Structure 1
């Protein structure tokens, strides 16, 4: 279903136009499927948890051609996954233990402002503390990063490494490890999205059981 609505340019969007656009979207949606909202309000059973960047140009549903209700979404600056983020952990716990998602995708995107800021040494503000997590990724892969001289290639590679490390951090949580221990069908993946082409690249970093976790992070689950 794709509502055929007139799209406004960013500079034309106002508070009022957002509300007007909502009504137009509802009307067009009901034309195509009169029971759409009735079915949507009955409950959600998304098969996917998406952990992505807050960047407005990377909307999970649109770039994967899926519908409302298909993807459970968590977004933050530069799609960081850290074990001290209770917001993310709460989303992860609900997704795995209540919604029973089958796939968790950590998706970065080339040209990420947060990643580029982490590559520099300028103070940005409060976000500097958040970007420290990405600087840790640089430190973990310092030898490789030092070999890349081209700034664009260095940024692109860090985007990839940040998504890969984020996926690894998801895998090492007790939430995911306990799910695997009980035989729950669950896979974790790392992707990256290109703003220039609109295409997603699978970074070929996936796991569906604890065998792929570094031994230092493996936990006794008691299962």
Structure 2
């Protein structure tokens, strides 16, 4: 059985299980969506929104390589506009992760066979250059990439807060910066949403409590 075929079989089992437990579940799901959260995450297959135990309808999602808030990204702009103005989300979470391939790539020479990826992560390369002194104090590439992932989350939170759409929506919308520790399986906060500005220094990481 091919992998896509297996996915279809698993979907059938999943839907039948939910229907058995709650026959009205999919009728309610189809009627509307009222998520409180917009999730801006990385495309990495190891960091789905399921790490929060979210179920369908909980989270409005935008994912891209390196969880970037790019100024000229029409896709992100339309997601933000709909999430804030139509869905009236109360929280936007920028979630990066350790062991991120985009961060590793930004710390190496550009790969000529990946021109679109190179263009995409150019801002991360610039970020790593601005923090070169701090990053170079870390002895291993993995440590530097993990720290860059944290700095990148802070940079994207800052970029979000500077958007006119978000400034006009506050205090309705709170912005959060999180990092996912791949080794621990834990989400940890990098920002305090009650503060006006991002915290540029390294913060003590705190476990996020799930419901």
TM norm structure 1: 0.83
Match of 1:197 among 165, 181, 184: 184
Query: Does the CA-based 8 Å contact 2:158-2:197 persist in structure 1?
Result: no
Q: Which residue number corresponds to residue 155 of structure 2?
A: 165
Residue 177 of structure 1 pairs with residue 167 of structure 2:
yes
Q: Which residue number corresponds to residue 206 of structure 1?
A: 193
Q: Which residue number corresponds to residue 77 of structure 1?
A: 65
Work out the CA distance in 2 between the residues paired with 1:86 and 1:140.
27
Work out the CA distance in 2 between the residues paired with 1:99 and 1:207.
22
For residue 201 of structure 1, report the CA deviation from its aligned partner: 0.8
Work out the CA distance in 1 between the residues paired with 2:152 and 2:123.
9
Higher mean alpha-carbon deviation, 45-54 vs 114-123, is at 114-123
Correspondence list, 1:54-69, <5 A: 54-60=43-49, 62-69=50-57
Work out the CA distance in 2 between the residues paired with 1:140 and 1:98.
37
Aligned residues: 196
Query: Does the CA-based 8 Å contact 2:110-2:118 persist in structure 1?
Result: no
- Structure 2: runs of 5 or more not aligned: 199-211
Which aligned segments of 4 or more residues in structure 1 are displaced greater than 4 angstroms? none
Match of 2:118 among 118, 128, 137: 128
Work out the CA distance in 2 between the residues paired with 1:195 and 1:148.
19
Deviation per CA, 1:94-148: give whole Å up to 9, x if none.
Answer: 1111111111000001000111011101414121111102112113323322332
Work out the CA distance in 1 between the residues paired with 2:132 and 2:166.
28
C-alpha RMSD over aligned residues: 1.7
Would the alpha carbon gap of residues 140 and 93 (structure 1) be closer, same or farther in structure 2, given more than 3 Å must change?
Answer: farther
Q: Which residue number corresponds to residue 115 of structure 1?
A: 103
TM norm structure 2: 0.87
Work out the CA distance in 2 between the residues paired with 1:167 and 1:106.
7
Query: Does the CA-based 8 Å contact 1:189-1:207 persist in structure 2?
Result: no
Residue 94 of structure 1 pairs with residue 82 of structure 2:
yes
- Choose 1 or 2 for highest CA Rg: 1
- Structure 1: runs of 5 or more not aligned: 1-11, 214-223
For residue 207 of structure 1, report the CA deviation from its aligned partner: 4.9
Correspondence list, 1:130-145, <5 A: 130-145=120-135
